Chain A
Amino acid sequence: MTGLAAEQALFSWAFEPVPAIGLLAAAAVYFLGWRSLHAQVPWRFPVERLVSFLGGLAVIFVALASPLDAFAGWLLVVHMVQHLLLTMVAPPLLLLGWPMLPLLSGLPRGFARDGLAPFLNSPALHRFGRFLVHPLFAGPLFIVSNLAWHVPALYDLALMSSGWHQVEHLCFLGTALLFWWPVIQPWPSRPALPRWAMIPYLLAADLQNTALAAFLSFYDSVFYQTYALAPRISGLSALDDQAGAGAVMWVPGSMAYLIPAGIIAMRWLSPRRRSRHESPSQRVPAPPRRRFDLLRAPVLGPVMRWKYFRPVLQSVMFVLAAAVVLDGLFGPQASPVNLAGVLPWLHWSGFSALALLAAGNLFCMACPFTLARDLGRKIFPSTREWPRALRSKWFAVALLAGFFWAYEFWDLWDSPWWTAWILIFYFSGAVLVDGIFKNASYCKYVCPIGQFNFVASLVSPMEVRVREADVCSTCRTHDCIRGNDSRRGCELLLFQPRKSGNMDCTFCLDCVKACPHDNVGILAVPPGRDLVADPRRSSVGQFAHRPDLAALVLVFVFAAFANIAAMTAPVREMEEAVRRIVGPQAAGIAWCAVFVFSVVALPLALAWTCGWLSAITTGQKPSTVAGGFSAALAPLGFAMWVAHVSFHLFSGILTPWPIILRIARDLGLGTASPDWNVSVPVFEGLPGLQILLLDAGLLYSLWVLWRKSRALTDRALPVFLPWALLAAALYAAGIWLIFQPIDMPLALNPP
Chain B
Amino acid sequence: MRKILAFALFLSAPPLLRADGGITIGQIDRDGLRVTVFAAPVPVRAGPLDVTLLAQEMPSHRPVTDAIIACSVQKLSPPSPNSVRLPAWCSAVAPGTRIPATSAHSGNKLLSGAYLPLAEPGRWELGVHVARGRTNFSASLPLDVAAPRHPLSIWWPLVALVPAAILLYIWRAFLLRARRAGSPVRRP
Chain A interface residues toward B at CB < 8 A: 1-2, 4-5, 8-9, 11-15, 65, 67, 69-71, 73-74, 115, 118-119, 121-122, 151-153, 155-157, 159-162, 219, 221, 223-226, 229-234, 569, 651, 680-684, 686-688, 691-692, 695, 698-699, 702-703, 731, 735, 738-739, 741, 744, 748
Contacts and interface: CB of A to CB of B under 8 A. Distances in A.
B151 interface: yes
B23 A731 contact: no
Nearest to A5: B63
A69 B107 contact: yes
B85 interface: yes
B56 interface: yes
Interface in B6-33: 6, 9-10, 12-20, 23-24
B138 interface: no
B139 interface: no
A699 B87 CA distance: 28
Contacts of B171: 119
Majority SS at the chain A contact face: helix
Contact of A223 (B9, B18, B87, B172): B9
Majority SS at the chain B contact face: mixed
B176 interface: yes
A5 B56 CA distance: 11
A224 B36 CA distance: 20
Contacts of A160: 14, 16-18, 23
Contacts of B6: 219, 221, 223
B10 A152 contact: yes
Contacts of B106: 14
A680 B48 CA distance: 14
Nearest to A647: B88
A316 B15 CA distance: 60
Contacts of A161: 18
Interface of B: 6, 9-10, 12-20, 23-24, 34, 36, 48, 54, 56, 61-66, 84-85, 87-91, 103, 106-110, 115, 150-152, 155, 158-159, 161-162, 165-166, 169, 171-172, 175-176, 178-179
Contacts of A14: 20, 106-108
Contact of A230 (B17, B109, B172): B17
Contacts of A11: 109
B106 to A, nearest CB: 8
B62 A1 contact: yes
Contacts of B162: 695, 698-699, 731
A651 B152 CA distance: 22
Given A118-B172, A739-B151, A9 B16 contact: no
A695 B110 contact: no
B176 A118 contact: yes
Nearest to A125: B175
A223 B6 CA distance: 7
B65 A4 contact: yes
Contact of B158 (A121, A157, A224, A688): A688
Nearest to B6: A221
Contacts of B24: 229
A119 B110 contact: no
Contact of B65 (A5, A69, A71, A741): A5
B65 A692 contact: no
27 contacts: A2-B65, A4-B65, A5-B63, A8-B65, A9-B110, A14-B107, A69-B107, A70-B109, A73-B18, A160-B16, A160-B17, A161-B18, A224-B13, A225-B13, A226-B16, A229-B16, A229-B24, A231-B36, A651-B88, A682-B90, A684-B48, A688-B155, A695-B165, A698-B162, A699-B166, A738-B151, A739-B150
A159 B18 contact: yes
Nearest to B66: A4
Contact of A739 (B17, B109, B152, B176): B152
Contact of B109 (A8, A115, A232): A8
B19 A691 contact: no
Contact of B14 (A156, A569, A702, A703): A156
A691 B155 contact: yes
B179 A229 contact: no
A691 B175 contact: no
A8 B54 CA distance: 13
Given A73-B19, A153-B13, A682-B115, A8 B110 contact: yes
A43 B178 CA distance: 38
Contacts of B115: 682
A577 B85 CA distance: 19
A13 B106 CA distance: 9
B13 A226 contact: yes
